[in-house]
Amino acid sequence: MIRSERERKDLEMKADRRSMYPWFFALLTFLLAFLVLVLAIRHPSVRSLDNTLILMLDPIRTPPMIDFFSKLTDFGASRLLIPIIVLCLVFFLYKKNGIAFFLLPIVFFAERGVNSLLKHWIMRERPDFPHLVPETGYSFPSGHTMNAASVYGLLILLAAPLIQTKWLRRLWTAVCLAMILGIGFSRPFLRVHFFSDILAGYCIGGVLVCGSACLLIFIERLRCHDRKMP
């Protein structure tokens, strides 16, 4: 038995902190993995492996597959993601979820800035193969992959809990996961990124999604605390 109201509140606060721990641990893991990749891509063996993996996809680079992935990869580009984000903001307004309404665009534009800073810090050139779609700029980390991991990852985190129908909620989650994986794979398939660029994009996207989850838990804890205040 809990001997006092204060002890009960202390136990609730500890439970809230515990719920944040997995997300915080995942954030640190993604960050560490990214730093390892930054060091690894300078090693000749990693560069050789990256080139070999791109060449291994040649047998499946048929015209229909190239056409499919050329279209799929656009769903990781800002020009398509911004309209998708706007539609989701309308949904959040309908659901009266102000936190999701502000958090999604803030994280997206922050992620764009972070990607640009990282690319100009690391300055890795793109694969020295004929590109199957037009691309310019540096390669590491993959911007399309960071976009996909952060935006579609956040749409699982923010939108899925607002979908009441169970099968529709599962479908939404599955589609978002498929977009994250498919867009990531499309970049080396189209010879515009190395696989290590993709892993790095997933890592930074994971950092942003996990950080957002920690923030949501913290905000919810503050709300619960305010509701319990006399």
Asked about 193 being catalytic, the answer comes back as yes
Cα-to-chain-centroid distance, residue 166 = 23
Q: What is the DSSP string of 172-199?
A: HHHHHHHHHHHHHHHHHHTTSS-HHHHH
- Would you place residue 2 in the very low, low, confident or very high pLDDT band (cuts 50, 70, 90)? very low
Q: What is the pTM of this model?
A: 0.86
> Structure tokens of 227?
């509701």
List the catalytic residue out of 120, 131, 144, 225: 144
The pLDDT mean for the chain works out to 88
Contact (Cβ atoms closer than 8 angstroms) between residue 144 and residue 187: yes
Q: Pick the catalytic residue: 43, 131, 193, 225?
A: 193
pLDDT at 187: 95
Residue 225 appears among annotated catalytic residues:
no
Label residue 3 by pLDDT band (50, 70, 90): very low
pLDDT tens per residue across span 180-196: 999 999 999 999 999 99
Cα angle 137-139-141, degrees, rounded to a multiple of 5: 125
